[in-house]
Structure 1
């Protein structure tokens, strides 16, 4: 994936940020799947932000135990039908503890989305700074930073995360720790993309003109190079979000990520496989939330990539044979399109 982004030509740089944003929006809104995905992501973010309000409406919280709502004689199975679903517990209760599932699910969205977003910001910041510094620095600087980047790219993220999370004291806030571990390990690919794109931009006429005008290196980077890097950086950031959500869920599932009583979708899945027959919603709800979130972010990331790369949109239209395009081509050439054209 990173190779494909590196191979992308330099995106068109608009003289006006507003007009560039308008062109991006016009391309994005032609993709219905991306718009639906954006709506889903916006809804998930709204749910995460409104978690305290939603749980207050239900009258529950994510950490309070309800021993009376589980049958201890049966190993902690929720009392009642459908896992204890009722007016007081909209999605039922957690086996053994009786904690409210709806409250834990919406608060889990806060942790999962928050960790993924914060880790993505760290990755993008480190990748952009190191990538630009490598591309515009002296030869020895480029060699040093490139070798450091190669080391981080070669690091297996899950293994390194497992090792670091296992040795850090449990008193350290786990969501913050997971964010830092993911963010400071997995920035290598975006740094390589930024370096390759910056090297391409350095050879363009407007960058050479700025250099001849006496601008300093970092002023050129800030004023001329960063706008040209916006498209690949935004595209890769959109791709990183679902990956980081999956990594956080996997680490929590393995028991080294977010720990109880802090709710997390991955942490909720840790013991859910034991209860899928007695309380199937305990497994299906966090798994379904993860699936929908990752799918929506992936589709949205692909839509953003296509909207930021006009060539990709053109390639998608080639060979579609839409009648509208055939009529437009015939009108431009002064001849009617062939009858029965596909």
Structure 2
């Protein structure tokens, strides 16, 4: 009796095609409970940011409308009512002195903070990828020049440079766009170093040598051979850089050179809340808590992405049960075959 018939008779499942790279990645990511929970939190925050106009319309509030009747002017502008003026009309209370609705400013602030960090991360990764590939594929003097520029960028005090650039640019320039350009334009060095190191390693492998011998140009090799292999480390670095850029944007707003009023931002709200932590603690706790949760969720998700993209992680995830069951069926088939051979 043939092996195929023995397997079919024993009730073994038919062979299943191996999962593709994307499916394997999502399977590994879902196997990590912390990363899955973090992904749900990030997805919720993104949906809140995208639906900010709809949510504020549903609440019947505007982030820039003043409500002086909701603050006690005799007490210095403290919100009237418990917990910062929370009521059926103002779900998270109101802002001290101005009486602006906190819920509306929080959801619009999520849009600004996440949007600035996203644009900065995309710019940072793009610049680092281009400069790193150019250094790895260029001539020796190009590599040395770009490597020295990268080293200088790493050594420079990024926060001081950002403060100086944001202080001299006219206020008429759109502030969120400017902050994203500044953060992304001066934080590319880490990506460049990773890309250059990985590209130099890949250049010595056989498939790149074969592409070079076939007469293909450097940038054709970079696009078709190197970029797919660089996807995993670049995506991992981007996932970990995104929460860092949120912190940088909040820090710049806290220092007074970031998002300017009346545009809401979590960092800018923290700047105004530092004098109200005793009289109106919710005004400080809400943006601070949201920043903490957002950065924590993005960091955990970034670590999960790194693990899911790591080829060595496959053996550490929960796939051992299926292999054990398959091995048991194979043993039974082998036993049956031995008995028939003996007969």
- Bin of the TM-score, shorter chain as denominator length: 0.7 to 0.9
What is the match of residue 117 of structure 2? 116
Cα shift at 1:197: 0.3
Give the Cα–Cα distance (whole angstroms) in 2 for the partners of residues 290 and 163 of structure 1: 25
TM-score normalised to structure 2 length: 0.87
What is the match of residue 227 of structure 2? 226
**1:80 maps to 2:81:** yes
What is the match of residue 186 of structure 2? 185
What is the match of residue 278 of structure 1? 279
Cα shift at 1:324: 5.1
Give secondary structure in 2 for the equivalent of 1:232. helix
**1:252 maps to 2:221:** no
- Using a 3 Å threshold, how does the CA distance of structure 1 residues 192 and 92 change in structure 2: closer, same or farther? same
Aligned pairs for 1:8-19 within 5 A? 19=20
Give the Cα–Cα distance (whole angstroms) in 2 for the partners of residues 327 and 227 of structure 1: 33
What is the match of residue 15 of structure 1? none
What is the match of residue 138 of structure 1? 139
TM-score normalised to structure 1 length: 0.87
Give the Cα–Cα distance (whole angstroms) in 2 for the partners of residues 248 and 36 of structure 1: 25
What is the match of residue 290 of structure 1? 291
Cα shift at 1:153: 1.3
- Using a 3 Å threshold, how does the CA distance of structure 1 residues 332 and 250 change in structure 2: closer, same or farther? farther
Where does the alignment leave 5 or more consecutive residues of structure 1 unmatched? 1-17, 335-342
Give the Cα–Cα distance (whole angstroms) in 2 for the partners of residues 312 and 189 of structure 1: 24
Give secondary structure in 2 for the equivalent of 1:96. coil
- Using a 3 Å threshold, how does the CA distance of structure 1 residues 261 and 147 change in structure 2: closer, same or farther? same
Give secondary structure in 1 for the equivalent of 2:216. coil
Aligned pairs for 1:1-342 within 5 A? 19-312=20-313, 314=315
Q: How many residues align?
A: 314
Contact 1:306 1:313 in 2 (8 A): no
Give the Cα–Cα distance (whole angstroms) in 2 for the partners of residues 260 and 76 of structure 1: 18
What whole-Å deviation, never above 9, does each CA across 1:184-203 have from its counterpart, x for those lacking one? Answer: 00000100000000001111
Considering only aligned residues, what root-mean-square deviation do their CA atoms show, in Å? 2.1
Further displaced range: 21-30 or 186-195: 21-30
Give the Cα–Cα distance (whole angstroms) in 1 for the partners of residues 311 and 185 of structure 2: 32
Contact 1:69 1:78 in 2 (8 A): yes
